[in-house]
Structure 1
């Protein structure tokens, strides 16, 4: 079994990028291929909660890589391929009689992320800083109103802390999503605790909170506002469980995440599966 600081970086199944303070060793390359889905949802959190037009399935096929530039600094990359379906959609701008519903499906890139993580301390508590840049590589399809990511660049500075004790570990983060193009920025905080159940199995519980600062005033086309895909002021209080089956450098992951509350986000759990390897 590899040391704990090598294992923790694998726990990214339901996250866009790893939020762990442990960095890779120099020359090590960690890769993760994952699939996540929020299926057939129509209700979103709000004040009050509300329904979108039609039912939406949001799937993400994701490649995540982390490379050790040194024993204290890692380079991160995340490439999401989004596949979004909308069924029984009715354009709110069109007046018609009878069944006006349509179905659409689009597959293209979401927001690609690049990042750097640097470790400041490797004592009892491991302390690190991370800076991600989410590139505006998503698309918007006018006819279907499908948006595959934020129409903005996002800069995410974070402070990360973690420790291990026996068969357990704990890690946490605090930071912000600072978005361009008149999107609101968000404060972020979260943490997870994991335990090694057997020689090869880990079980992890997590909490993830994102709170909008409501400081942006971007406007969207009426049909995009009707489905709320990657609109402004999205926020949530989320929780979930993850499991890892590991065999040396290779392993499998599975998990689910849901929200206790939120704004402009689905009232439906996400499920995720992945496969990883370290070279």
Structure 2
């Protein structure tokens, strides 16, 4: 397996928490199937931190693909299927006697992403630009107040940089999420460093920061605002570890990520597992 495919697999072992400056060779296709979960959370980062009614489990089944249009330009696609459960929810607006807890479950598409990545420099440092578009393919259920993605189109321009040295590599990105429908936009910056521990194992640490510009004023139904599923002004300072076990052009990935601080995001770590193949 060429190092480029290993690095791309590492970058997508969680839900696109980092971005790779490396592009596919012309005609090559990289595919990654992954599962991630934030289980049974009820505590949220905020100003101040707050609790939600009941507990939420947020699962994502995700396909990511990258195809080399040329040796310098890749086409990207990401398709998330969301499965969200809310358990033991008690509506504070309803007065009832006895056990009023309810449970809900919804499975639907999240925001499908299409993108283009172009490499400008491939020497000691690899420098690239990327433009993603998240399509408004998510859904909202009024009864459960479960939202599976942002009710908006999101345009994400980014500048990407990376380098490798010996058994190590480093990469970073800076960009912005520009959302429609009166959502606030976010500034994004992050980076990661990884090391090849053995012939088949890589270990990576990452930092990912998303900061809201607080320039949107979209409103939400009260129960959706209370559960904070894809509401406005979500932001975080996140960190985590990722790893890969490779077998030629096939491999397995795993990782976890958590937030040091944030707003309208869970105070609970996410775990992820995946499998990838290059063609």
TM-score w.r.t. the length of structure 2 is 0.98
**Distance in 1 between residues matched to 2:47 and 2:165, nearest whole Å:** 42
Query: What CA distance in whole angstroms lies between the structure 1 residues aligned with 2:18 and 2:261?
Result: 23
- 1:192 is matched with 192
In structure 1, stretches of 5+ residues that fail to align are: none
Deviation, structure 1 residue 18: 5.9
| Counterparts of 1:35 and 1:211, CA distance in 2 | 26
Name the structure 2 match of 1:10. 9
Instruction: Give the 3-state SS of the residue equivalent to 1:217 in structure 2.
Output: coil
Write the distance in 2 (CA, Å) between the matches of 1:242 and 1:198: 15
What's the counterpart of residue 86 of structure 1?
86
Q: How far did residue 17 of structure 1 move?
A: 7.3
Query: Whole-Å Cα distance in 1 between the matches of residues 171 and 18 of structure 2?
Result: 11
- Give the gaps of 5 or more residues in structure 2: none
What does residue 157 of structure 1 align with? 157
2:138 is aligned with 1:138: yes
SS state at 1:224 partner: helix
Shift of 1:226: 1.2
Q: Secondary structure at the residue paired with 1:10?
A: helix
Note if contact 1:32-1:275 (Cα within 8 Å) is conserved in structure 2.
yes
RMSD value, Cα: 0.9
- Deviation at 1:23? 0.2
Q: Which 4+ runs in 1 deviate beyond 6 A?
A: none
Q: Which whole-Å CA distance do the structure 2 matches of 1:250 and 1:18 have between them?
A: 21
Q: State how far apart, in whole Å, the 2-side matches of 1:24 and 1:61 are.
A: 23
Q: Distance in 2 between matches of 1:42 and 1:224?
A: 14
Offset of residue 164 of structure 1: 0.3
Deviation at 1:5, TM superposition (A): 2.6
Distance 1:92 1:229 in 2: 18
C-alpha displacement of 1:8 = 1.2
Structure 1 CA distance for aligned equivalents of residues 101 and 199 of structure 2? 52
* CA distance in 2 between partners of 1:111 and 1:74 (Å): 20
- Taking a change above 3 Å as real, the CA distance of residues 18 and 9 of structure 1, as seen in their structure-2 partners, is farther
1:95 corresponds in structure 2 to: 95
The number of equivalent residue pairs is: 278
- Structure 1-normalised TM-score? 0.98
SS in 1 for 2:39: strand
